[in-house]
Structure 1
Amino acid sequence: MNIRHLEFFVVLAQELHFRRSAERLGITQAPLSLAIQSLEAELGARLFHRTRRTVALTEAGLALLDDARAILARIEHAKESVWETVSGEVGRLRVGFTNASTLSPFFPRLIHAYRTQRPKVNITLLELSSSRQIEAIEQREIDVGLLRMPESAPPTDLVFTPLMEEPLLLAMHARHRLVSAPSIKLNDLRDEPFIAYPRQAGVAVYEKIVALCAKRGFKPQVVQEAQQASTLIGLTATGLGISLVPSTLQTIAVPGVVFRHLDETDTITTLYIVHRHGDANARAMQFVELARGLRDETSYRT
């Protein structure tokens, strides 16, 4: 059944006048008459009573009218659904994030802004390590990731866009010997016990710390591991050891823990937003563009 013929039929059923219907459709009366005749021939029933003065629906026409309107409405709905999906207005967006990234003011601002702009999109947030996020994006398990670049990251076709840089801070017990030091460098931590993320967890900050220490000729002496940022700071409060953490972690206020900046130029960690190169997912690309825009509006160093 020709959809265009159904559209002509519904308009004529509303107007019950060939000339007005043709004008409304933007065509002449001849193709309108041919379309109605073709539809009637296909259905094997007269749809209109026609005289020189009047046009009226037949019983068959009345029976078809509701169905025709429903069919056209469903087609229009399908078009709108496809458009909304392609344009990124609806659908699902899977976003990976690291544990520490949630403590940055950038993270909640980005998620809130996206949900405000795309309220019909179902956004799913998945907490994953940086290394695991890279794998998940490549395997299309998630659409975008908020992560720090692992030192051991293999060559990839993914696109890494920097969002913000922040220094690594030294977290230590309030009575630690370095609390009152006028200046602290990584070399001062050579013999210190470290509390760190597990090596096998794929946490980029851990790899960064190991690389920075190796650059200075030593390996951090890890005496305790912790999976979560809050646990890391909590264990530091016990005096068991020191930890190096992104500056956003100082928002975890634990009594007895002091944070100090390092007098170094390379102790910086960068938060990236990552997506697949050439991704046709409109929702993912809109999320990335929003992140870039928010980055440019802030005073974060990038």
Structure 2
Amino acid sequence: MNLRHLEYFAVLAEELHFRRSAERLGITQAPLSLAIQSLETELGARLFHRTRRTVSLTEAGLSLFDDVRGVLARLEMAKENVWQTVSGQVGRLRVGFTNASSLSPFFPRLIHAYRTSRPGVQIVLRELSSLQQIEALDTRELDVGLLRLPPEMPAPAQDLVLAPLLEEPLLLAVHAGHRLAKKRTVCIADLRGEPFIAYPRQAGVALFSQTLALCEKRGFTPDIVQEAQQASTLIGLTATGLGVALVPASLRAISVPGVVFRELSDSDTTATLYIAHRRGDANSRAVQFAELAQTVQ
């Protein structure tokens, strides 16, 4: 059944006048008449009573009109749903974030701002390491990620659009009774020979690679005596005096008795948070989220 013929039928059923219907449709009366005749032939039923002066619906026409109005209404709703999906108004957005980034005041402001501007979009938040996010973006298990870049970029990262969002200094987390706790600032070279608490290498946390690179640049390899999967565990273990840890400044929000944070005087001890999404991705929600992230302070 020709959809255009149904649209012509619906307009004529409302106007009950061929000239007005044709003007409303932006066509002449001839194609309108041909469309109605074709529809009647296909259905095997007369849809309109026609006289020289009047046009009215037959019983079959009345029955069809009820159905056609529903079909056209559902079609318009389908068009609207597609437009909302394409424009990023509805759908699902899978956002990856690191454990440390969730502790930054930036993170809740960004999520709240997006949920306010796109209430029809379902946000699915996944806590993953930076390397895990890069892999998940490559396999399309994530739409957008909030991550830090490791010194050695994995191959999938080459296919990502990356924009810096937030640069924060690294701090030294140390037991309050440690000799370095007495100093206002510390340099990486001061950490030679110190036991370290760090994320596991296999966890894919960019900070592990950065810690390793910073120490090796000063001519030593950090002595990692204890590993911790979570930022809160890392700070908690520092309170035991087992070792020191390099952490983003946002982890200062984790207040644990016995732990103090000291600034680093080295110029290369900063950590940058990036927003990442696939290059050329047709998912407008990911692009809109990334654009919003760059405006949130």
The reply to whether TM is greater than 0.5 is yes
Q: Cα distance, 1:228 vs. partner?
A: 0.5
Q: Output aligned runs, 1:274-285, within 5 Å.
A: 274-285=276-287
Paired letter, 2:128: L
Paired letter, 2:40: E
Q: Cα distance, 1:182 vs. partner?
A: 4.3
What is the aligned partner in structure 1 of residue 162 from structure 2? 160
Change (3 A) 1:183 1:121: closer
What secondary structure, in the 3-state scheme, does the structure 2 residue paired with 1:239 have?
A: coil
In structure 2, how many angstroms separate the alpha carbons of the residues matched to 1:32 and 1:203?
A: 67
Paired letter, 1:70: G
Cα deviation, 1:123-174, whole Å, max 9, x if unaligned, reads 1111111111111111111111111001232242222211111111011111
What is the aligned partner in structure 2 of residue 232 from structure 1? 234
What is the aligned partner in structure 2 of residue 222 from structure 1? 224
What is the aligned partner in structure 1 of residue 205 from structure 2? 203
Cα deviation, 1:215-251, whole Å, max 9, x if unaligned, reads 0011111111111111111111122211110000001
Q: TM-score, normalised by structure 2?
A: 0.95
Paired letter, 1:252: I
CA RMSD of aligned residues (A): 1.3
What secondary structure, in the 3-state scheme, does the structure 2 residue paired with 1:41 have?
A: helix
Q: Output aligned runs, 1:46-57, within 5 Å.
A: 46-57=46-57
Q: Does 1:42 align with 2:39?
A: no
Gaps of 5+ in 2: none
What is the aligned partner in structure 1 of residue 267 from structure 2? 265
What secondary structure, in the 3-state scheme, does the structure 1 residue paired with 2:167 have?
A: strand
Cα deviation, 1:237-280, whole Å, max 9, x if unaligned, reads 12221111000000111112111101110001111111111111
What is the aligned partner in structure 2 of residue 142 from structure 1? 142
Number of residues paired by the alignment? 295
Gaps of 5+ in 1: none
Work out whether residues 115 and 121 of structure 2, in 8 Å CA contact, stay in contact via their aligned partners in 1.
yes
What secondary structure, in the 3-state scheme, does the structure 1 residue paired with 2:123 have?
A: strand
Paired letter, 1:271: L
In structure 1, how many angstroms separate the alpha carbons of the residues matched to 2:161 and 2:238?
A: 35
Q: Which moved more, 1:69-78 or 1:205-214?
A: 69-78
What is the aligned partner in structure 2 of residue 176 from structure 1? 178
Q: Output aligned runs, 1:91-106, within 5 Å.
A: 91-106=91-106
In structure 2, how many angstroms separate the alpha carbons of the residues matched to 1:83 and 1:133?
A: 29
In structure 1, how many angstroms separate the alpha carbons of the residues matched to 2:11 and 2:159?
A: 53
Paired letter, 1:95: V
What is the aligned partner in structure 2 of residue 286 from structure 1? 288
What is the aligned partner in structure 1 of residue 76 from structure 2? 76
What secondary structure, in the 3-state scheme, does the structure 2 residue paired with 1:179 have?
A: helix
Q: Cα distance, 1:27 vs. partner?
A: 2.6
Q: Cα distance, 1:122 vs. partner?
A: 1.6
- State the identity %: 73
Paired letter, 2:92: R
What is the aligned partner in structure 1 of residue 10 from structure 2? 10
Change (3 A) 1:182 1:255: closer
Which of the numbers 214, 229, 243 marks the counterpart of 1:212?
214
Paired letter, 1:116: T
Change (3 A) 1:113 1:54: same
What secondary structure, in the 3-state scheme, does the structure 1 residue paired with 2:182 have?
A: coil
Work out whether residues 184 and 262 of structure 2, in 8 Å CA contact, stay in contact via their aligned partners in 1.
no
Work out whether residues 184 and 263 of structure 2, in 8 Å CA contact, stay in contact via their aligned partners in 1.
no
What secondary structure, in the 3-state scheme, does the structure 1 residue paired with 2:74 have?
A: helix
Q: Cα distance, 1:56 vs. partner?
A: 1.1
In structure 2, how many angstroms separate the alpha carbons of the residues matched to 1:159 and 1:19?
A: 56
Change (3 A) 1:11 1:190: same
Paired letter, 1:186: I
Cα deviation, 1:163-215, whole Å, max 9, x if unaligned, reads 11111101111121112224311111112111111111111001100100000
Q: Does 1:114 align with 2:149?
A: no
Work out whether residues 145 and 277 of structure 2, in 8 Å CA contact, stay in contact via their aligned partners in 1.
yes
Cα deviation, 1:21-52, whole Å, max 9, x if unaligned, reads 22322333222222211211111111011112
Q: Cα distance, 1:285 vs. partner?
A: 0.9
Q: Which moved more, 1:209-218 or 1:84-93?
A: 84-93
